[in-house]
Amino acid sequence: MNIALWIVQGLVALGFIYSGWLKAFQYDKARASWGWVKDVSKTFVVLIGLAELLGALGIILPLALNITPIWTPIAAIALAAVVCFGALFHIARKEYREIGVNIVFFALTVLVAISRF
C-alpha cells in the first residue's frame, strides 16, 4: 500500500507542478490553454499557481525527507481545497467539461490525506 500511495503522491505532485508552473510562471500559455484565466486577474492566477506548486512540494518532501511528515497530509488537504474551489468556480461558470479533472485530483488528494494521517 505504501508504494501505491507514493505513486499516487507522485502523480498528484506532477499534475500540480504542471498546472502551477503554467499559472505562476507562464501566464500567457495558461491564458491560451484555459479560457477562465482571461476572466480573472493575473495576480489571482499567479497566486493559485504558487499555492499549487507549494502543495506539490508539500505532498512529497516532508514525508520523503522525514522532516515533520505531518505536513504531507496537510498539504494534501490544502490541494483538495484548491481543487474543490476550482470545481465550484467551473460549476458557477457552467464549464462542466472542466470538472472531470477536478474530481480526479480531489479523489487522489483525499486518498493521500486519509492514508497518510
Give the pLDDT confidence of 4-52 residue by residue, as tens digits. Answer: 999 999 999 999 999 999 999 999 999 998 889 999 999 999 999 999 9
Local confidence band at 92 (pLDDT 50, 70, 90 cut-offs): very high
Q: Does pLDDT of 98 surpass 90? A: no
Average pLDDT on 96-114 reads 95
Q: What is the pLDDT of residue 83?
A: 96
Q: Are 54 and 83 in contact (CB under 8 A)?
A: no
- Helices 71-92, 2-25: crossing angle, 10 deg rounding: 50
Distance from C-alpha of 97 to C-alpha of 50, rounded to nearest angstrom = 24
Q: Does pLDDT of 99 surpass 90? A: yes
pTM listed for this prediction: 0.92
pLDDT in tens, 40-89: 999 999 999 999 999 999 999 999 999 999 999 999 999 999 999 999 99
Which three cell numbers mark 56? 506539490
Domain count, the chain: 1
**Domain interval for residue 103:** 2-116
